[in-house]
Amino acid sequence: MVSIYTTFMPKSNYRTRKIYLDYASGALKIAANPGAIHSLGVAEKDKLNKARARIARLIGARPDEIIFTSGATEANNLAILGLPRGHVVTTNIEHASVMETAKHQAAVTYVPVQPNGIIDPKKVRNALRPNTVLVSVIYANNEIGTIQPIKEIAKEIRHYNKMYPYPTSPYRRGRIKGGIIFHTDAVQATNYLELNVEKLGVDLMTFNAAKIYGHHGIGVLYKKRNVRLSSLFFGGNQEFGLRPGTENVAAAQNLARTLKQADKIKKQEVKRLTKLRDYFINKLEHSQIFKNTRMILNGDKERRLPNNVNITIPGIPGDLLVIELSAQGVMVGSKSACKEGEAGASQVIKAINPLAQDTDGSVRFSLGRETTKADIDRTLQTLFQILKKLKIWYN
Amino acid sequence: MVSIYTTFMPKSNYRTRKIYLDYASGALKIAANPGAIHSLGVAEKDKLNKARARIARLIGARPDEIIFTSGATEANNLAILGLPRGHVVTTNIEHASVMETAKHQAAVTYVPVQPNGIIDPKKVRNALRPNTVLVSVIYANNEIGTIQPIKEIAKEIRHYNKMYPYPTSPYRRGRIKGGIIFHTDAVQATNYLELNVEKLGVDLMTFNAAKIYGHHGIGVLYKKRNVRLSSLFFGGNQEFGLRPGTENVAAAQNLARTLKQADKIKKQEVKRLTKLRDYFINKLEHSQIFKNTRMILNGDKERRLPNNVNITIPGIPGDLLVIELSAQGVMVGSKSACKEGEAGASQVIKAINPLAQDTDGSVRFSLGRETTKADIDRTLQTLFQILKKLKIWYN
């Protein structure tokens, strides 16, 4: 006898409800361990792989080229330390997670940036050596927002790899098949710039969710198939053996979603923010307050992120301005948050201006989806008020 | 003139609303970068430190002894590889993140477990050498749930450290002040066992949020103040220089909350689950179906986690049982999810029973907060039905 209520039976009906007795592998059945072979585990693995495939599609890669990590710092570390030991070429305007990590490779050359905050591809070319394993150049700088000529650098490396196709050093023999590997840290670029890895010509690329309006605690290292890396730590086969530890499926899904959204609105946001940025810069440059006080716009005026305005007002410490602005409700950055708390001018500012004094701090205004013209106007007004007050003490 | 409406002014009033121009350090102002020095950054740092202090209090530690990591795997790696190079003593029933990682230290001794799944403290004592830097013993095993005598092992190590107070090996000279360091992986124990680090006598302890009904992507390494570790990767001063990368504040808060909750209901859950577990074991042991088929309860019957039942039915592969049970809506585990996909019996099962065949897979039933007696009854019924079916093919 079939009950007429059958079709109305709630899903939580006891006899059909799933019994979860795998709390030891993951305490929430809504987030079972993707490594488990029961159906809830398989469903999680499926979600993870779908997120992986979506992300791959958005950057022109294949799913098995997407390695989830705990964030961009770990992804940059994996890119640098996961390669065999050898010489690394990078720049003097990298994020600390590249700058510091490169020192733990066999040898490193820091290519100096030009005064406009942009790296000359020829200089990268000239730094290559027979035992170079990696070139790592930040796509858009995190402090001054300057955009690096990634495609041109990739071309130089390809030429070099063609000219010297055979390993010429014991470091490389039998280890790096494709020649010198090219990595870019695209964390600041993700919202605004071209991300197709084929078009860019990169072998490795780092990005994360937190900088594109997503969760903390998840990042990606894109790894071209032919690049061989070894993992930084041990104890599981996850992420193709490159990143042990139970996968964070919810965060991976969030990253896929936010990357899709960033891609969708990229064009219009670039247009809108470029206008706002240029309005901001123009107002700064033509302000009465800078008649007697010098103001420096750090980094190239055109080849910079649409959301970045970074200035130095010589003689006034950046941290002081950040705190004064914060007290008036305006939240801006000084140097990289990862290096905040350290004294003196930022390394990036010193890199573009070797004469910069420790007191010549920079202030970074980085705009985003919620930023309006009214925000910029109030920010300018607040900044000018503060400068008037500070000018009595400084200068 | 003061408007009478002032007190009713909404918080989103434009002139008092905060302007966020720090998108480059973190795209969501609700989750500003805790490294930023503006007021939103400071507020995030404050939340992080409060979570840290709450967690510290719950395990009898100090806030600066709590190191947030991306999870337990990373915490175990940091405990082992963050120490100076030397000899490591561990067991043959560790989670892969200890078992595999120990191989990357200078030397390692795996103390064999007794047939009941419990480590003899005397055997740990006998494995210590002058150049031993670390002993790492899992608090409660992840597969068979056996509880290790952590306090007794800590006592043995303390005795040894007292007997040999001076560094006797080049590995230790001037590096490890307090002698041999004792680490425990408490991931499976967190919900049910004593976590006070003073009472346990441990120097390092790993746990995470995912196994206590919290978020994925966050773990803790408790690190006693006098223990000196170096970080596994580079590029930021976060977590006392031991774990670079922007902090995951929301996840840290979630871990603090879930740990508090676990602590609150620990006593009653231990009581409730012990009863359920023993009911489950009793039913298995007295079942008709095991009149002619052998069933082995893996691990000590008493000294095991209140939520763990792990059995072997010789001749029937564990993975097969897991999949058959899953098809009937019952989700259980076989070997550790981090090692699933690998063929053969689990290392833990082989450790307690060297005669175990590859086909003698184990099945782990791990109970949790939602598990009821009705769940156990249906699970038993389902299991017996499956065994009846399988017995035609196996045995």
pLDDT tens digits along B314-348: 888 888 999 999 999 999 998 755 555 566 668 89
B193: which residues sit within 8 A by CB, 6+ positions away? Answer: B139, B140, B147, B186, B305
What pTM did the predictor assign? 0.92
Average pLDDT over residues B210-220: 96
Q: How far, in Å, CA of A187 to CA of A209, rounded?
A: 9
Choice between B178 and B18, residue whose per-residue pLDDT is larger: B18
Gyration radius from chain B CA atoms: 24
Question: Has residue B156 got a pLDDT over 70?
Answer: yes
DSSP state of A210: G
Q: Which residue has tokens 């120490």?
A: B83
Nearest CB to A217: which of B70, B98, B334? B70
Residues of A catalogued as catalytic? 338
B338 catalytically annotated: yes
Contacts of B33 in chain A (CB under 8 A): 337
A30: which residues sit within 8 A by CB, 6+ positions away? Answer: none
Average pLDDT over residues B72-81: 98
Statement: B58-261 belongs to CATH 3.90.1530.10: no
User: Do the Cβ atoms of A298 and A117 come closer than 8 Å?
Assistant: yes
Specify the pLDDT at position A7.
38
Measured in angstroms, the CA of A184 and the nearest CA of chain B are apart by 16
Question: Has residue B251 got a pLDDT over 50?
Answer: yes
Nearest CB to B36: which of A21, A340, A365? A340
Q: How far, in Å, CA of A334 to CA of B21, rounded?
A: 11
Average pLDDT over residues B131-138: 96
Host H or E run for residue B135: strand B132-136
Q: Do residue B246 and residue A213 have CB atoms under 8 angstroms apart? A: no
Percent of all residues in chain B with a pLDDT value above 70, rounded to a whole number: 89
A26: which residues sit within 8 A by CB, 6+ positions away? Answer: A32, A33, A36, A246, B210, B211, B337
Specify the pLDDT at position B391.
78
Nearest CB to A19: which of B21, B97, B375? B375
Contacts of B38 in chain A (CB under 8 A): 322-323, 325-326, 331-333
Specify the pLDDT at position A391.
78
Specify the pLDDT at position B175.
42
Nearest CB to A368: which of B27, B74, B238? B27
Specify the pLDDT at position B293.
79
Q: How far, in Å, CA of B306 to CA of A228, rounded?
A: 44
Q: How far, in Å, CA of A21 to CA of A12, rounded?
A: 17
Q: CB neighbours (10 Å) of residue B395?
A: 13
For residue B223, count CB atoms less than 10 angstroms from its CB and return exposed for 0-12, middle for 13-18, buried for 19 or more: buried
A286: which residues sit within 8 A by CB, 6+ positions away? Answer: none
pLDDT tens digits along B39-75: 999 999 999 999 999 999 999 999 999 999 999 999 9
Helical axes B318-327 vs B373-390, angle rounded to 10° = 120
Pairing of strands A132-136, A107-111: unpaired
Q: How far, in Å, CA of A6 to CA of A60, rounded?
A: 48
Measured in angstroms, the CA of B74 and the nearest CA of chain A are apart by 7
Q: How far, in Å, CA of A173 to CA of A82, rounded?
A: 17
Question: Has residue B180 got a pLDDT over 60?
Answer: yes
Q: How far, in Å, CA of B267 to CA of B277, rounded?
A: 15
Average pLDDT over residues B375-385: 96
Specify the pLDDT at position B2.
40
Q: How far, in Å, CA of A162 to CA of A170, rounded?
A: 19
Specify the pLDDT at position A356.
77
Q: Do residue B233 and residue A74 have CB atoms under 8 angstroms apart? A: yes
| Helix, strand, coil shares, percent, chain B, to 5 | 40, 15, 45
Specify the pLDDT at position A3.
39
User: Do the Cβ atoms of A277 and A367 come closer than 8 Å?
Assistant: yes
Q: What is the CATH number of domain B266-390?
A: 3.90.1150.10
- For chain A, which ranges sit under pLDDT 70? 1-16, 166-178, 336-344, 359, 394-395
Q: How far, in Å, CA of B106 to CA of B111, rounded?
A: 17
Host H or E run for residue B154: helix B150-163
Specify the pLDDT at position A8.
41
Q: What is the ipTM for the molecules in this complex?
A: 0.91
User: Do the Cβ atoms of B116 and B274 come closer than 8 Å?
Assistant: no
Specify the pLDDT at position A347.
87
Specify the pLDDT at position A1.
38
Q: How far, in Å, CA of A20 to CA of A32, rounded?
A: 9
Specify the pLDDT at position B55.
98
Contacts of B377 in chain A (CB under 8 A): none
Statement: A37-261 belongs to CATH 3.40.250.10: no
DSSP state of A382: H
Choice between B337 and B308, residue whose per-residue pLDDT is larger: B308
Specify the pLDDT at position B9.
40
Would you list the domain boundaries of chain B? 58-261, 266-390
Contacts of A378 in chain B (CB under 8 A): 15, 19
Residue A108: CA atoms inside 13 Å, Cβ hemisphere, count? 18
Measured in angstroms, the CA of A108 and the nearest CA of chain B are apart by 15
Least confident of A344-348, B205-209, B365-369: A344-348
Measured in angstroms, the CA of B275 and the nearest CA of chain A are apart by 16
- The closest of B170, B229, B231, B235 to B204, measured between CA atoms, is B229
